[in-house]
Every structure is written in structure tokens, then in C-alpha cells.
A and B are shown apart, each in its own frame.
Chain A
Amino acid sequence: MPSSPANNAPALTDLVMPKLGLTMTEGVLAEWKAKPGDSVSAGTVIFVVETDKIANEVEAPSAGTIAEILVQTGETVPVGTPVARWTGKGFIADEADAPRPAVEAPKPAPLPASTGDRVRATPLARRIAKAQGVDLHAVAGSGPDGRIKAADVEAAAKTAPAASPTEGERIALSAKYLAMVRRVVAAKRDIPDFQVVRTADVGALLELRRQLNAVGGPKVSVNDMVLKAVGRALLSLPRANRIWAEDAHIAFAATDVGMVVNSEDGLFIPILRDVGRLPLDRLAVDSAAAAAKAREGRLAAGDITGGAISVSNLGMFGAKALTPIISPPQSAILGIGAVERLFRPDAEGKPALRQEMTLTLSCDHRVYDGVLAARLLQAVAEALEAPHSLLLTEG
């Protein structure tokens, strides 16, 4: 006999796609962890959502029984869309990643949405892209404000062998990867960036690191020391600790710094909190944990939000320098090249062996001018060249 709803069945409510970040407008329902008929207690993971930034495990906000699943695995739906019917109480959107404006903020403006997912493209460009299977997120527009025109799509279609099944295998990409693509395209399009470059003599820094690691305790990486140097630079130059927000700056009090982590799903930037004031050994522990979470796809929305600057390090791969793309809504990113051994003239003009690293700061001109950029880079380099300062926790 088929089951029928009991007469005294509890009222069903909607379980909705939660808002997991300030800029989140839609999410991919990546996986259901519960099925119709399952009774769950509060805190049980019921489904996984992939947003443009991360995968989130969504926990039951209360106890309840899943009655019906409305959104299937793989579907993308806007925030607030009912994804299931159940007997529990619905979601309240996660407010954890709201911005933390400091006293300098002219008004509590929301984070900019202009760097979000909206693609500017002409109707014809959209039609052609659809017909040829070109992802407009990956197309650079040549029109006003980066508007993608038909010719841009056609050029992209020609240079994208993946688009043609005869020339190669078409690889579907994860929502996370595509989100990263959208982010970098938007950043390249919307941010008036410029770069300043200098080298830092890191001989003393490498020696200090050797000594610290010989003592035992958490292993400190060169990258940790660079992060710390950036945090200290922000303490001394709070003017740089700002982001652009729709005709205003938002200034941060905490010296949060992002750390670019590479994974199979693309790049992620977990944010390390108040790095300038964090002891180096604590920083080493936090950065190792954040890197692990990123590689395992466990970053939560709160882990990746905040900060005005990030550090991207390709030194371990031997690259001399890199010019990284700013990660919106941040205003700067520091690219770190490999340590090189080379001769430099000393005070007497005689060759002296040095260990140098190339630092490239990409800056948003809406926040930085050239002097500010050079001063921030100088502060970082000086901290690296006088590395004992990295052991301090206050400016």
C-alpha cells in the first residue's frame, strides 16, 4: 500500500539556497547529503553549495525531515530559491562575511557589486557565443566598458580549440574554476591597475628563517615571512589598507592579508587575519591550515572574505617575477619571484654575492597612486631586509 501523508502531518516549509557571501547571487547545488524521508538534526550537513568562490557544506538550521527535493544536483539557482520542502525551520542567510569597515569609512557602503558576474555583451555576441559554445566569462570585450562584441566572441572561438570537438577534447570545468575565470576577467576589465617592481636582499631573512626552524616549533616558510612583512607594512601605511567601493574607499583597521593557494579547482585566496599583529609562529600555523583547507575544498565563505591585499608566490617554481591579477574587491596583490644568487657591487664597487627576490606590486589606481605603491613596496622590502622586525607584533 502506498504511503499517504498522515492527516496530522506537520506543515512543510521551504529550505532555500542560502546566501553564503555578500556578493553571492546564485549557487550550484553540488551535492545532496540527505534524501527525501531523512530526518536530520540541527547541524547535520544536508547539501553542498558551490558558489563563485568556494564549496560550502550547508547544515540543517534545525531538526526536521526532508519531504521533497526541488533542486537537483548540478542545478544553479538564485539565492532564496527553495531547494527542498521539509518540516524544519528555514535558513537565515549567513552574515559572517559582512565587511568590517574601520572608522575611516565614509559610509557603510556595501562591497562593490560591479566586479561580480555580470557579463557585458551585445545581443549578437551572446547569440554567437551560445551557438558556438563559447563561455562569455572567458572572453575579453573590446567595446566600451569591456563590452563583448561579436568579433570578440568569434576571435575567442577561433583561438579556443576546445570549442571544436575535431581539434581536441572539450573539458567541462567546475563552477569553482569558472568562478575564478569570471573573477580574473572582471578584474582585468574593471580595475585600472599598475605595477611597481623592486628587489629585496633576503640573505638575512633566509638566515633568520634557518635559525627559527632549527629551534623547532611550527615550520616558518619564506612565504609566511613575506606575509608578515606585508602585514607590518600595512600597519605603518594604513592608507594602503583600503579598497574601492562605488565612488568611496573602505578602510580596514585589521591588517588582513590574502594568500594565493593553487589547487586542482583553480586558485583560492584564504584570508589570514590581522597578520601585522599576529606572531610569526602563529601565522605559520594559520597559513598551513588555510592552505590545506583550500586544497581540500573546505574553505568557508568567512575564510575568503576581507583584506585589501594578497600575496602570490611563484618563487618555489623558479619564476623570476610575476605580475599577478588583483582579486576583487581587494586593491592590491604582491607577486613574489624566486630567490636568486647574484653579484652586486658593494660599497667599494667590488662584487658581493647577494640573495635577492623580485617583488611586483599590482595596485588599483582608484586606491593607490604611484608614491603610495612605491612606499608600500619599500616598507615590505625593508621589513624583509631587516627581518628581525618580523618578530614584532606591533608597529
Chain B
Amino acid sequence: MAELRYVRALNQALSDAMAADPSVVVFGEDIAAAGGPFGVTRGLLEAYGADRVRDTPISEATIVGAAVGAAMTGLKPVVEIMFMDFVAIAMDAIVNQAAKARFMFGGQGSVPMVVRLPHGGGVSAGPQHSQCLEAWFAHIPGLKVVCPASVADAYGLMRAAIDDPDPVILVENKALYARKEDVPDDLPAVEIGKARIARPGRDATIVTYGAALYTALEAADTLAGEGVEVEVIDLRSLQPWDEAAVLESLSRTHRLVVAHEAVEAFGVGAEIAARMADIGFDELDGPIVRVGAPFMPVPFAKTLEQGYLPDAGRIADAVRKTLA
């Protein structure tokens, strides 16, 4: 056991993957010499050389487009878009090229690439540096989307994403980079598409992912004081998502809340709620309630952002509502 930070777990996973497979390359803005704006790629240049660890110009469309071509030609590129917001510039490469290549070319091969996208607010980064846009990618057939919340999963999902033969969007939450956890020395890869029960409970299920996991756990603590035992499921993967695990939990608790930091409307929670209303209909003993950000851009000022981010109180209220 050792104490490890989330950012170091990502770094360790990248390093281990590069050591294990010479076809893994890493490139993006300021990721080599500077070690990345958040330090995720620190030390990789020194360890693996300028051929495999490259700083790029500020050209998001070409960074991701080049990853597609590199993946088609035998590399396993891991590229970083400095803030998830900037991925809007690179959408063609992700949506029209990477996601479709395997299908469109008749399964001749896939595009084994990872696009790392730091998302999330809470640091007064404002409307263009704080968004949670993961639902965009979960909507695109051909993409996988993962979002680790724990330090162990940061390592395990990074390894799994790099090993995956298909394009994977790895969503990292900026607020979690500094998170510390005791983890085993020998961390395993985590299977993409498998959720985990972060806290068992019998009265209601909260499905969540990313930084909202910790907000949900805080809400569960509050509710435990009221005699309500909430089960908290950390989805870990958004596409594919662990429908079976959520249904299994719902079949025990009969109440479902879906919570995330992303805007509530048309979000990941909408999909989970709709799907469970379908396949889990007869298990429901209360309305499915979603908790997400309001339908507005992420604001800058501290007070505004506090109002914007879903907090434990809102999640607890949602649980109370489904229990009413």
C-alpha cells in the first residue's frame, strides 16, 4: 500500500503503458518539456524520449486528427486536450473520423487512441474552461467514454483505455488531480464498462461518476444520519455504461437518483433515467430524479459557481424526493 495522488496515478499509468508497449506515444500542448499544465505527463519526455513524447503547437484539430492517422498506421497515441472545452475544435477528428473508421471501413481495423479531456468546474475557470461535455461523446457510436473518480481507477482506466483497440475518451476531473488515496502497489487495469459500488445501501441508489461521486457520498452520509441507507454507484465508464449493475441495484433499492456535475438537460443522467424507466419500470417505487448543473454556462465568480455546482444538499434532497 502506498499513498498516491490521482494525477500521479495517471502519470504512472502512462509511464507503465509506454514501458510495456513501444507503440504508445503521447502528444499535446505543453505536455513534454513542461510536463503538462496539470503535471499528468511529467517526466515522460525524460523517460521515453522526444520521439514518443511530443509538444504540439496549439492546433487541436490536427492534434486529434494526427492521432487518428497515427493509430491507423500502427501507433497507440494518447493525446491531451488541455481543457475539455477546447475539444470543440477537434470534433471532426473524433466524431467523423475516429469514431467511424472501424465501422465505415468494414471492420478492417480500429483506431486505438486515447483522447484525454480534463473537465469540471469549481476553480473559477469560467465558461470556457470548466465544462463537462462527456455526453457529446457518449452519444457517438464508435467512441468509448470513461471517467475515473478514484485514484485506483485513474490508473486502471488509463491502462485499459490505452490497451483498448477502439478510440477512448478519457475524462479527468480537474478537481480530482490533487486527490490522495492509499492504493495497492500493483494496480490492475479496470475493465471498461464496469461500474463499482462505492457505498452499499438498501433504501435508494445514487448513480454518479467523476467528482460528483464524492458529493454523492457526502449526501449519503447526511442521509445515513436520517436512517436512510443509500447505495452509491460509481459508473466509471459512460460508454458503454454498466446497465446491469444499475438495474441490479435498483432492483434492491427501488429508488434511483442520477447525479453528475454536467448540465442536467440532455445529459448522461437523462439516458440512465430513460433506460431504467424502461427496463427497470416494475422495480421503481418512486420517481427517478436527476441532479446536474442548471441549464446555463459555467459562471466565473465564486458565489455564482457555488450556486451552479450540484452540492450534497441537492443530491440528498433528490433522494428524499424519490423516497417520499
Contact = CB atoms under 8 A, between A and B. Distances in A.
Interface of A: 122-127, 143-144, 149-151
B247 to A, nearest CB: 13
A124 B282 contact: yes
Contacts of B281: 123
A122 B324 contact: no
Contacts of A125: 285
B305 interface: no
> Which one of B283, B284, B285, B324 has the greatest number of beta carbons of chain A within 10 Å?
B285
Contacts of B284: 122-124
B254 interface: yes
Interface string B284-324: 11100000000000000000000000000000000000001
B257 to A, nearest CB: 15
Nearest to A122: B285
Contacts of B254: 122, 124, 150
A150 B324 contact: no
Contacts of B285: 122-125, 149-151
A123 B282 contact: yes
Interface in B43-81: none
Interface in B228-259: 254
Interface in B265-286: 281-286
Contacts of A126: 282
Interface of B: 254, 281-286, 324
Contacts of A122: 254, 284-286
20 contacts: A122-B254, A122-B284, A122-B285, A122-B286, A123-B281, A123-B282, A123-B284, A123-B285, A124-B254, A124-B282, A124-B283, A124-B285, A125-B285, A126-B282, A127-B282, A143-B286, A144-B324, A149-B285, A149-B286, A150-B285
A123 B324 contact: no
A218 B282 CA distance: 59
A143 B282 contact: no
B324 A143 contact: yes
Nearest to A125: B285
Nearest to A124: B285
A128 to B, nearest CB: 9
Contacts of A144: 324
A141 to B, nearest CB: 11
A143 B255 CA distance: 13
A125 B285 CA distance: 7
**What are the 10 A-B residue pairs with the smallest beta carbon separation, nearest first?**
A124-B285, A127-B282, A122-B285, A150-B285, A123-B284, A123-B281, A123-B282, A124-B254, A149-B285, A144-B324
A144 B321 CA distance: 9
Contacts of B324: 143-144
Contacts of A127: 282
A124 B250 CA distance: 11
B205 to A, nearest CB: 13
Nearest to A149: B285
Contacts of A123: 281-285
A255 B305 CA distance: 62
Contacts of A124: 254, 282-285
Given A124-B283, A124-B284, 10 more contacts: A122-B286, A123-B281, A123-B284, A123-B285, A124-B282, A124-B285, A143-B324, A150-B254, A150-B285, A151-B285
Contacts of A150: 254, 285
A280 B248 CA distance: 68
A10 B228 CA distance: 69
A114 B286 CA distance: 21
Nearest to B283: A124
Nearest to B281: A123
A136 to B, nearest CB: 14
Contacts of A143: 286, 324
A123 B256 CA distance: 13
B250 to A, nearest CB: 10
A122 B281 CA distance: 9
A150 B283 CA distance: 10
A143 B321 CA distance: 10
User: Which of A122, A125, A126, A127 is most buried by chain B, counting CB atoms within 10 A of its CB?
Assistant: A122
Nearest to A127: B282
B315 to A, nearest CB: 19
Contacts of A151: 285
A150 B254 CA distance: 9
A123 B254 CA distance: 10
Nearest to A153: B285
A359 to B, nearest CB: 38
A153 B10 CA distance: 50
A148 to B, nearest CB: 10
Nearest to A130: B282
B287 to A, nearest CB: 8
A283 B282 CA distance: 53
A144 B324 CA distance: 7
A321 to B, nearest CB: 35
A151 B254 CA distance: 11
B204 to A, nearest CB: 13
Nearest to B284: A123
A123, A125, A127, most chain B CB atoms within 10 A: A123
A143 B283 CA distance: 16
B123 to A, nearest CB: 38
Nearest to A142: B324
A127 B280 CA distance: 12
Nearest to B321: A144
A149 B254 CA distance: 10
A377 B285 CA distance: 43
A125 B282 CA distance: 8
B322 to A, nearest CB: 10
User: Which of A124, A143, A150, A151: most chain B Cβ within 10 A?
Assistant: A124
A143 B254 CA distance: 14
A149 B285 CA distance: 6
Nearest to A121: B285
